[in-house]
Amino acid sequence: MGDYILYKATAHAYTDASIRHAIDNGISGIEHGNLMSSETAKLMAENGIYLTPTLSCYGIMVRPPFEDFLPPDGKIKNRQVMEKGLDALKLADEAGVTICYGSDLLGSMHALQTEEFSVRAAVLPSPRVLQHATCNASAMLGDDHLGQISEGSYADILILNANPLVDVTILDWPEDHLLAVIKGGRVVHSKITQLKAEIC
């Protein structure tokens, strides 16, 4: 017998039927999941299925400069799917689903992906939302060197002037709160003079 590599796959799914179909066929994660019921959320938790909601895109696509991105009927559907998505996020959290961070933003909208922190913080506490982008994502990727600050980890660190465990929405305002970025133990961006001097 040869060696086998275990791959994880995620499915674009919104409804109970599509999510359950994906689970029955061995999926590892669900992208979106806006229309799921509490029963389906429990099924996901029982089977260790990850959820990556993408909620920020719904608000961004209806305001300048993207207000004409959707046709009028699409804007109505967009609002409804956003409301259901917040409900699904709470249901998944209550059921114990491991939730990961994602925005589904493409092209020029990609610069606005941090708004996902603010959207989720409207219905979940900051520490839980921060886990979505750190240790939960690490678990989904199967790499325990990511998503935490510990010996042997990759040392990808943000230095902030406020505590995201108190208010995770500060991550949506890097121009006000981000002081430095450390990638793989090296400072790649810094507003702190001492850190700049250390890498020169």
The pTM of this model reads: 0.87
Domains in the chain: how many in total?
2
Write down the pLDDT at residue 157: 94
Give residue 167's domain range: 155-200
pLDDT tens string 87-138: 999 999 999 999 999 988 888 888 889 999 999 999 999 999 999 999 999 9
Residues 81 and 105 in one domain: yes
109/163 same-domain check: no
Do 36 and 62 belong to one domain?
Answer: yes
Helix (H, G, I), strand (E, B) or coil at 144: coil
pLDDT value for 101:
96
Q: Which residue has the tokens 């992906």?
A: 113
Identify whether 4 is part of a domain: no
Mean pLDDT by 10 residues, the chain (200 residues): 68 97 96 97 98 91 81 86 94 98 85 92 97 95 91 93 97 95 93 63
CATH number (domain holding residue 92): 3.20.20.140
- DSSP tag of 123: T
Q: Does residue 107 share a domain with residue 163?
A: no
Distance CA 144, CA 135 (A): 8
